[in-house]
């Protein structure tokens, strides 16, 4: 068996920190694939960076997989290994301008460290076809190294519940048109929650029974109840790798209205129940109202089929293929 090491900066004591990665680790373990972890600390502190560089420099595993770009990917790229893999997820690729001065500097450094690291990796995994196209546009010589492998979801944990039952479980009235906001942090500027709230305010004028909830700080095993209770998930992000909340919503047969991020426009073209809008509250509200009207006469039937394409088992197979296992 090959020696496989994953590097990351996700601390498992935080509910939402790197959930996707820990789920994959658990499933690989069930398959008998042993993966060692290195959790880097304080990467942007020069002392800690140099200390960890020297500590792990001669690690030299068969496969060294950085689970994130930015400082994590840069540090990992400097370590010895027989085969190196980098996963690019979103915020390590996109420069985020709509934040404070310190945040913009940090985002600029993070994305540049990703750029500087790319050439040192034998394989590069990206979350969406959009990111692949953007990466190839900037670095055409790397095209042959790039694979699109979106983080998978465990379909045993995400499946449709009866909507009335789900609403009852989370304390929502049955006649409520419920919008779920897919945000880890309601103050996260990348998620652009003010745009979502403004859109909801406009839509509520036409849908008096409209309510919304933040699906935030919910135990991972309970998220499917909230997603099943929602009539729609609203995503107003400025950018995304591939939003897990949307994959999970589809698995619960819940449609989405979103801004044009990741590959969501491709998904919206495959079903009449999902809509992609430009980042304008009037247009987003219009699509919420359009979906509301559609749901009064029909229910989506094809969303779980789309979600099946993101099955965790299939994603693990793709990663093992990249590892040549």
Q: What is the mean pLDDT of residues 137-143?
A: 97
Q: What is the mean pLDDT of residues 117-146?
A: 97
DSSP string, 106-162: HHHHHHHHHHHHGGG-SEEEES-HHHHHHHHHH-GGGGGGEEE-PPPB-TTT-----
Asked if residue 142 has pLDDT above 50, the reply is yes
Digit-coded pLDDT (tens) for 163-172: 999 999 999 9
Spatial contact of 306 and 252, defined as CB atoms under 8 Å apart: no
Residue tagged 């379909």 (tokens): 155
Q: What is the mean pLDDT of residues 132-138?
A: 97
Q: What is the mean pLDDT of residues 127-153?
A: 96
Q: What is the DSSP letter of 270?
A: T
Q: How confident is the model at residue 98 (pLDDT cuts 50, 70, 90)?
A: low
Return the pLDDT at 12. Answer: 60
Average pLDDT of the chain? 92
Which has the minimum average pLDDT: 26-30, 95-99, 137-141, 213-217? 95-99
Q: How confident is the model at residue 14 (pLDDT cuts 50, 70, 90)?
A: very low
- What percent of the chain shows pLDDT beyond 70? 95
Digit-coded pLDDT (tens) for 199-238: 999 999 999 999 999 998 888 889 999 999 999 999 999 9
């Amino acid at each position: 068996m090959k020696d496989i090491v994953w590097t990351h900066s996700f601390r498992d004591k935080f509910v939402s920190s790197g959930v996707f990665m820990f789920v994959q680790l658990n499933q690989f373990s069930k398959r008998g694939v042993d993966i060692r972890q290195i959790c880097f600390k304080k990467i942007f502190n020069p002392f800690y960076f140099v200390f960890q560089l020297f500590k792990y420099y001669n690690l030299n595993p068969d496969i060294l997989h950085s689970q994130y770009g930015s400082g994590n990917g840069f540090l990992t790229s400097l370590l010895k290994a027989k085969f190196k893999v980098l996963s690019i997820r979103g915020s390590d690729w996109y420069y985020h301008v709509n934040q404070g001065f310190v945040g913009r500097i940090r985002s600029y450094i993070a994305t540049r460290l990703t750029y500087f690291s790319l050439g040192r990796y034998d394989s590069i995994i990206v979350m969406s076809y959009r990111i692949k196209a953007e990466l190839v546009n900037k670095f055409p010589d790397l095209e042959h190294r790039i694979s699109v492998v979106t983080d998978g979801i465990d379909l045993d944990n995400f499946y449709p519940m009866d909507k009335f039952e789900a609403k009852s479980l989370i304390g929502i009235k049955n006649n409520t048109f419920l919008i779920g906001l897919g945000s880890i942090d309601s103050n996260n500027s990348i998620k652009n929650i003010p745009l979502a709230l403004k859109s909801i305010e406009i839509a509520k004028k036409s849908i008096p029974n409209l309510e919304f909830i933040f699906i935030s700080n919910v135990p991972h095993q309970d998220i499917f109840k909230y997603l099943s209770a929602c009539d729609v998930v609203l995503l107003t992000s400025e950018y995304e790798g591939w939003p897990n909340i949307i994959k999970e919503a589809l698995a619960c047969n819940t449609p989405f209205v979103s801004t044009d991020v990741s590959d969501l426009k491709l998904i919206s073209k495959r079903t009449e129940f999902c809509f992609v809008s430009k980042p304008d509250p009037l247009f987003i509200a219009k699509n919420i109202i359009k979906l509301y009207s559609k749901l009064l006469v029909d229910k989506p039937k094809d969303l779980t089929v789309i979600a099946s394409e993101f099955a965790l088992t299939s994603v693990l197979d793709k990663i093992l293929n990249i590892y040549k296992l």
